[in-house]
Chain A
Amino acid sequence: MANTMLHINHIAKTFNPGTITEKKALLDVELTLNEGDFVTVIGGNGAGKSTMLNAVAGVFPVDSGKIEIGGVDVTHLPEYKRAKYLGRVFQDPMTGTAATMNIEENMALAMRRGQPRGLKWGIRPMEREMYREQLRTLGLGLEDRMQSKVGLLSGGQRQALTLLMATLKTPKLLLLDEHTAALDPKTAAKVLELTEKIVAEQKLTAMMVTHNMKDAIAIGNRLIMMNAGRIVVDVSGERKKNLTRAEVMGLFEKAAGEELDGDRLLLS
């Protein structure tokens, strides 16, 4: 039995409770990820996919339930303290990097994730070589632009850099929140390929939200589908490998007890 890397223990979250904009985002989410699991998360808009990821990351406190990462109870830890365990890539390429700082400075910030920051130099010369090597693996030519401001990079380059930064210091859990959704198809494919490569090389435990059914089926060893704040489908192992699109649709209808609305799911 592999080690448990993430345990989401019956969490619930309601935004703006008691107001006209009240939104029950997570009703009762229960999920356990084993070390090395790469799970893809699908579901319609408002199903709670991103909310679940953000709850794990600590963007907001949950109303009830418990979250453990690598055996540590993080339920009451603020976002910046949980960062120690987490690598994160966001949907918006602008979110993951500091535009006004250069590439190597961004990487140096990521290299110190979860460490106290004092009056030592922000970047030491020996680090630079390591960053250059790492950037070379992206194959984007960024290793020759380490002094360039990140704001000058394209969305795809920024996402690739964010991915690299998220895994520079091996996280216990990698959270990918629709990280290819804002990219053109070609770039998205490249970033996705890079994601699989990094996850495989570092044997990471990862959770990836996607709107793309094809990717969700093709990538990872496990697939979960959310609907109305709950996980309604959870497929793994051999069964996940042989999954087809029609099958996923069928599973969803059975679990959610409603006709699947293809438009709402934005499945492609």
Chain B
Amino acid sequence: MEIIKLINALPGCVSQGVIWGIMAIGVYITYRILDVADLTVDGSIATGGAVATVLLMAGVNPWIALIVAFVVGMLTGLATGIFHTFMGIPAILAGILTQLSLYSVNLAILGKANLPLNATKLELLISQRNVRALSLDNPLIVLAIVTAGVIALLYLFFGTELGCSLRATGANNAMARAQGINTNTNKVLGLMLSNGLVALSGALLCQYQGFTDVGMGRGAIVIGLAAVIIGEVLFSKIFNNFALKLLAVSIGAVIYFVVIQVVLWLGLDTDFLKMLQALVVAVFLAIPYWKGKYFNKKTGKGA
């Protein structure tokens, strides 16, 4: 257990965290703003990776590849949105259906289960190999720019009439409809926006790790939720502004990856990693419930 090993791993954790932070911001839009648990993300993050990989291998400009991945991600959200609103399928199940079908879609895009991206031969935006570089090649620079751009655009969007109506849809469906808001359209729009960001994150992730795998999104929703919840637990008292709340989600993702690294460094068998992830999220989800129970008892006695 050499501490130097852990310190060496930290820059990688931070980069990975920022990439997954963009995905987690997408999860925040559905889970917190729309009040819908969307499981499409396990598929759409790999879709983003697959689309970007194919485009990059064809020599397309990497920024354009990111944009195309975002748009294709929005289409995955559209599919879930149609399942949910037009076909009346509960949101969680609608997401599972899209996620499952995306496995086939992703295989079709990639042509096989796994494709490598060679950072020396291709023009990539970021690469894991530069993670400790003290130069402009360091992935953190591009990642910080993309994250800042995403947060700024979302901040502006949710301040518009349309953005406000989306927030109202999540906050109070009945009220939103009484104010003339088409809540179904808004849910579809929110799912599209969310999965667009998730796919964007996938497009960055495949470049960073140097490959795309159709299974790379397995359990992504759990990481996204973990980041959202960690961000809220740590920063909800000090961050009131919407942009800062999104930043908290991104920081939450970084903290999540650092914590996982520490646990691995302490000697956890990597086979148990997914189980650990799930249990961590389960406990964090339970905290508000336990808190409520505890406080209710208190007030009950007092009354």
Contacts and interface: CB of A to CB of B under 8 A. Distances in A.
B137 to A, nearest CB: 36
B164 interface: yes
Given A83-B178, A98-B167, A122 B172 contact: no
A57 interface: yes
Contact of A117 (B159, B161, B172, B183): B161
A118 B180 contact: no
A174 to B, nearest CB: 12
B178 A57 contact: yes
B160 A121 contact: yes
B231 to A, nearest CB: 17
B161 A120 contact: yes
A57 B162 CA distance: 23
A122 B159 CA distance: 6
Given A79-B177, A80-B180, A117 B171 contact: no
Interface stretch (A35-43, A104-112, A207-215): A104-112
B168 A98 contact: yes
Interface residues of B, number: 22
Interface in B124-180: 157, 159-165, 167-168, 171-172, 174-180
A240 interface: no
A207 B178 CA distance: 16
Interface stretch (A11-19, A89-97, A223-231): A89-97
A117 B181 contact: yes
A24 interface: no
B180 A119 contact: no
Main secondary structure of the interface of B (DSSP, over half): helix
B166 to A, nearest CB: 9
A84 interface: yes
B180 A99 contact: no
A100 interface: yes
Contacts of A114: 180
Contacts, number: 86
Nearest to B158: A122
A118 B162 contact: yes
A118 B168 contact: no
B296 interface: no
A88 interface: yes
Interface string A51-80: 000000100000000000000000000111
Given A101-B171, A105-B164, A122-B164, A113 B159 contact: no
Which among B162, B177, B180, B181 has the greatest number of chain A C-beta atoms within 10 A?
B180
A112 B171 contact: no
Contacts of B61: none
B101 interface: no
B182 interface: yes
Nearest to A81: B180
Contacts of A21: none
Contact of B176 (A86, A98, A99, A122): A98
A109 B171 CA distance: 12
B179 A110 contact: yes
Contacts of A119: 157, 160-162
B88 to A, nearest CB: 15
Nearest to A100: B171
B173 to A, nearest CB: 10
B172 A95 contact: yes
Contact of A96 (B163, B175, B180): B175
Contacts of B171: 98-101
30 contacts: A57-B178, A80-B180, A83-B178, A83-B180, A84-B180, A86-B178, A90-B174, A95-B174, A97-B175, A98-B167, A98-B171, A99-B171, A99-B172, A100-B167, A101-B164, A101-B171, A108-B164, A109-B165, A109-B176, A109-B181, A113-B179, A114-B180, A115-B180, A118-B161, A119-B157, A119-B161, A122-B160, A122-B161, A122-B164, A123-B164
Given A80-B182, A121-B161, 10 more contacts: A79-B177, A80-B183, A84-B180, A95-B172, A97-B172, A98-B168, A109-B168, A112-B179, A117-B181, A120-B160
Interface of A: 57, 78-81, 83-84, 86, 88, 90, 94-101, 105, 108-110, 112-115, 117-123, 165
